[in-house]
Structure 1
Amino acid sequence: MADQGDVRAVLEYVPRFRGKIFVVLIEAGLLPEPAIAESLLDLAAMEDVGVKLILGVLGGDLKDLYDWTLECEIMAARLTRPLGEPGAIEEAKAILGRGQTVVADASSNDPLDPQVVDFTLGIGAVKLIALLEEAILIDGEPVPAVRAADADALAISGTVTGAHLLQAAAEACRRGVPRVHVLNGRRQGVLVDELFSNEGVGTMIHADSYRQIRPLREEDIPELLGMIGRSVRRTKLVARNYEDIEARIGDYRVMTIDDNVVGCVALHDYPGENVAEVACLYVKLNHEGRGYGVDLVHHAEALAREKGIPRVFALTTRAADFFEKRVGYSPCDPDALPTTRRQQLEESGRDSKVFEKRL
């Protein structure tokens, strides 16, 4: 039985991918048949949930791969001309318009070459995905996300395997392709593991901000409440309702990865007291251990500095080590709290420890 967390992670992406166009390049002649077969089954599942697909065959027998798509019950139609030739975009749009997946000859192209990028832009794809024998590795490992702006410096650093692919992917992003994924096509299940999780298993190059911390929006409030509910029940976080958060919505920030909310923090001011509280710090379970909590705290501290606030404090029942050892806070007496906050703490009956930091 599939892990429930995995199923939920997949379901998060289904509505976002539905109706979108993905261009998927496959080095069919160089990859193991079991890996190709599993990738095609995964593509069939994506087709079922409404993703519009274009499969570009970089090597191997085009007819064989087309026959495989039919065996996997992909509703495929072959493009009558190679992917980069004039008229290919219009023909591909017509096939997609009929609800079919396009299978195209890309054997005369290098992965991510300008013709492939031209086609991707012309067809309006949101992702260009390459299943290759050679993947991009940095210090021997795939990197979940690389900004296009950082790619050239990385490519010449001497730490990158597949540096030419990294540079080509970055150029595709600079030209307007939102996301380029370069994946190890030998790895079975690589497509689902890459596309239906926030962290992925390959190397994604992106033009915009993949991971960011931004202000909370009103439409985020239900998700935030659902996210922190587990910690509220375990008394790690103070209980909050929709109205509480809405009333102080400007205090809250959320961390998003590929537009999915994965963590939150709040900075509550105490006017006239030259102090602010770092509160409602939470990172989703499947994103713990990656330093996101530290990033959220540092973001809240930066907001305090911008406001000219010289000191911040935090209350916690379970995260004393985190505040003291990871983000440099010091224990302090509850008497150091603003009067209203100290009264709230006393009335709550929570056995919270108090930490502070001078900025």
Structure 2
Amino acid sequence: MNPPATASATPGAPSETRAAPHPSELDWFRGAVPYIAAHRGRTMVIALAGEAALAPEFPELMRDIAKLHALGVRVVLVYGVRPQIEARLAERGLTPQYAEGLRVTDAPALEAVLDAVGRLRLQIEGLLSRSLGQPGTGNARLRVASGNFVTARPLGVRGGVDFHYTGEVRGVDTEALRNLLDREQVALVSPLGYSPTGEVFNLSGEDVATQVAIALNADKLIFLTEAGVLRDPQHGVLGQLTVPAAERLLAESDDLPEELANHLKSAIDACRQREMRVHLVDRHDDGGLLIELFTRQGIGTLVSREPLERLRQATIDDVGGIHALLQPLEAEGILVHRAREHLELEIERFQVLDADGLIIGTAALYPFGEEAAEIACLALHADYRGSGRGDRLLAAMESLAREQGARQLFVLTTRTAQWFQERGYTTGRVDDLPPERRAHYNQARNSRVYTKRLQP
């Protein structure tokens, strides 16, 4: 009878040791999982300038885009070629011509444009193909497809200047693009457009990306910027802007870099026409694209039609998010444990603070009799505490209680007594609770009772 197999090192062979993942790595992954699930199957149009292709970190950026594809994101990549065109013109001894901030593309310049576009297309395809087999790309074959997806018309003569082969977007072949995305291919879109008569026009890469995103009704339009990020007066990154706020920023800022101003205009246009999110991310930040998409705080500026966060009635689909939010507080003994089944049965009692599809806060209101109600399960994700969101939740629950006719509110707490006291709640007794609630008071927890009289 053969002896049982054992795992043992070969004598004299070097042993391989493996360190456990650092807690911060585990935390990052755990935090990213909800975003990975939320982004799977979503269409994202990513726009990058030609300057990005000249940077030494360009291959790493392409690997990050390959990782997005491996995670199930439907990627449309739109690229610009301004510095590449300048180089091709210089090789030919030609001087670039501009008017109204746009390139004048005569016949010799068009040859330089076509050369630059073709070279960069091959470079991007090669880098994306080379990303195959890299960690995080799933070792799956990544197919890249390009084509004549954009129809264009000439700008014509403006202000007395003939722009020749400089054009603007006329239409987007969404059926062709969707067919590529359905076949799990990365769609690569150049800044070229074609007329029904076969002419080729040089287009703005930014305009192409914006119109493609609008035509596809993309979930996200992402500009990888060369001019940095938008900052507030204290030099902090502007994390979120609504369309009205973006319009005010454009109107009031006289020192905004031209590139960022153009991105904001495109974001406003896209958000007004479609329910999409537009992200401005500094291309120079290593991993900035992934940080923006897979972390709660992000790293760039998000522009949307409506505020990113909204307080709303919870639905049965929110049970998992609420449960995950309450679990850490239950483990610490701050909140009473509630099983998922319990949450499902009482989901109509809950309100949630929704940040782009993720539950970052919640609270519940339980009526007792005709004039009393209890606020329970008031909880915020750790990353969002100390920012006034708790006050927003509490105010919403008090307003809802008033609407339901309650005149007396009460809360039971073991750790947050002072927080409620600072917001007008006064010390009460167990005997002050409605009889039905008093009958279920947990003596072992010894929770403190605080009450507040609501004004009609």
The verdict on a shared fold, with TM-score over 0.5 as the criterion, is yes
Could you tell me which residue of structure 1 aligns to residue 362 of structure 2?
264
- Normalised by the size of structure 2, how large is the TM-score? 0.70
Equivalent position of 2:213 in the other structure: 120
Report the identity percentage: 26
Paired with 1:111 and 1:149, the residues of 2 have a C-alpha distance of 25
The whole-number CA distance in structure 2 between the counterparts of 1:150 and 1:231 is: 36
Q: 1:221 & 1:174 partners in 2: Cα distance?
A: 32
Using the TM superposition, give the Cα deviation of residue 4 of structure 1 relative to its aligned residue in structure 2, in angstroms.
1.8
Q: Is the 8 A contact 1:155 1:164 kept in 2?
A: no
- The answer to whether residue 323 in structure 2 is matched with residue 229 in structure 1 is no
Query: Is 1:131 matched with 2:224?
Result: yes
CA 33–322 in structure 1, closer or farther in 2 if over 3 Å, else same: farther
Aligned twin of 1:77: 145
What is the letter of the counterpart of residue 356 of structure 2? Answer: D
Per the alignment, residue 156 of structure 1 pairs with: 251
Which residue of 311, 320, 326 maps to 2:417? 320
Q: How does 1:203-242 map to 2 (within 5 A)?
A: 203-208=301-306, 210-242=308-340
- What does the per-residue CA deviation read over 1:46-81, in whole Å, with 9 as the maximum and x for residues that have no partner? 111221211111234424334333332353233357
| Alignment pair present for 1:340 and 2:427 | no
Q: Once superposed, what is the RMSD of the aligned Cα atoms?
A: 2.8
Amino acid at match of 2:440: Q
- Counterpart for residue 293 of structure 2: 195
Residue number in structure 1 paired with 2:191: 106
Residue by residue over 1:188-208, the C-alpha shift from the partner in whole angstroms, topping out at 9 and shown as x without a partner, is: 111111111233111111124
1:242-261 alignment to 2 at 5 Å?
Answer: 242-261=340-359
How far residue 237 of structure 1 moved from its aligned partner, in angstroms, is 0.8
Residues in 2 aligned to 1:323 and 1:41: alpha-carbon distance in whole angstroms: 49
* Inter-CA distance 266–146: structure 2 relative to 1 (3 Å threshold): same
**How far, CA to CA, are the matches of 1:181 and 1:211 in structure 2?**
16
Query: Matches of 2:176 and 2:345 in 1, distance apart?
Result: 53
With over 3 angstroms needed to count, the CA separation of the structure-2 counterparts of 1:244 and 1:256, relative to structure 1, is same
SS of 2:353's partner is strand
The Cα of 1:308 is off from its aligned counterpart by: 3.2
Deviation at 1:298, TM superposition (A): 1.5
TM-score of the two chains, using structure 1 as the length reference: 0.86
Q: Structure 1 37/311 Cα, relative in aligned 2: closer, same or farther at 3 Å?
A: farther
1:304 maps to 2:401: yes
Say which SS state the counterpart of residue 137 (structure 1) adopts: coil
| Letter aligned with residue 331 of structure 1 | T
One-letter code aligned to 1:71: R
- Matched AA of 1:291: G
**Alignment-mate amino acid for residue 92 of structure 1:** L
Which region of structure 1 is more displaced relative to structure 2, 240-249 or 275-284?
Answer: 240-249
Matched pairs, number: 355
Deviation, 1:121, is 2.1
Contact kept, 8 Å, 1:128 with 1:177, in 2: the verdict is no
C-alpha distance in structure 2 between counterparts of 1:122 and 1:256, whole Å: 27
State the one-letter code of the partner of 1:297.
L
Q: CA 1:164–1:238 in structure 2 vs 1: closer, same or farther (change >3 Å)?
A: same
SS at match of 1:266: strand
Q: Summarize the Cα distance change of 1:36–1:350 in structure 2 as closer, same or farther, 3 Å threshold.
A: same
Partners of 1:42 and 1:234 lie apart in 2 by 38
8 A contact 1:252–1:267 mirrored in 2: yes
1:331 aligns with 2:399: no
Q: In the alignment, which residue of structure 1 is the partner of 2:447?
A: 352
Amino acid at match of 1:338: P
**Aligned with residue 275 of structure 1, among 363, 368, 372:** 372
Structure of larger gyration radius: 2
Of 21, 29, 36, the residue aligned with 2:51 is: 29
* Alignment match, 2:91: none
